[in-house]
Amino acid sequence: MNEDILSQYKEKLEELEASLSISYSEPMLLLQAVTHDSFYKEQNASWGSNERLEFLGDSVIGLLVSRLLYTRFPDFTEGSMAQMKAYLVSTEFLAEKAREIDLGKYLLLGKGEEQSGGRERHSLLADAYEAVIGSFYLDQGIDTVERYMTSTFAPSIEEVTISRKNSKSLLQEHIQKHFKCLPLYTVIKEEGPPHQKTFHVRVYFKGEILGEGSGASKKEAEKESAKVALNNFEAFLSRELIQADPNGKETEQI
């Protein structure tokens, strides 16, 4: 009986396996993971719905996200890890991960869910993604799931971490990484009445202007100049490397 069922959905399941870069030992687990309760009830599907796998997957994701944050980001405080975890296990984030593998295309839905746009519903996609992770865990084990989630989730953590930092902090990190010193910010002009001034700031490094920006305060102007400097820093670094001596020491700048 299972062979007949699997043959009916074989092509879709193989496509989904390819999206996940997984080859299931027990394909029925994946079939169950994509079976919504509405389909299960309408069709009396013998393999059941994905609700139990969703429950399991929710716990697996929570555990592995916590471990990923703890091991890969030692500078995160408990509060930072809690905030980041809340984001990474949220319905919106998991639904986005589901869309990345086009999971909605493979879901088995009842007629009502199909007609009401269930394939695009955030909550339904997030639940199905949890179910897939649950099935993945049962079929492949925790180590394989962890490798998959690390490759899938870590870039998103990096992006959020970077977006939360201001441009001055990022510029400082980049410069300190390569040169072990800091940029210099200088106010080059102030305009307007005392209650409505505009500040113009340049950021210098090694005598070169890396960026220029303006704002209603010195701090805002510095951030704007740092944004420009970040865009210019790669070209600046390339020039510095070209001028470095064979031992890797930078030549003195005139």
Q: Please list the active-site residues.
A: 58, 130
CB-CB neighbours of 121 under 10 Å: 16
Q: From CA 192, how far away is CA 197, in angstroms rounded?
A: 5
Q: From CA 44, how far away is CA 38, in angstroms rounded?
A: 10
**Secondary structure letter of residue 77 according to DSSP:** -
Contact 183, 175 (CB under 8 A): yes
Q: From CA 90, how far away is CA 179, in angstroms rounded?
A: 39
15-24 contacts at long range (C-beta below 8 A, 24 or more positions apart): 15/106, 16/101, 16/103, 16/106, 19/101, 19/102, 20/101, 20/132, 20/136, 20/148, 21/148, 22/136, 22/139, 22/140, 22/144, 22/148, 24/135, 24/139, 24/140
Which is nearest to 179 in space by CA: 245, 231, 237?
237
210 phi and psi, to 5 degrees? Answer: -90, -30
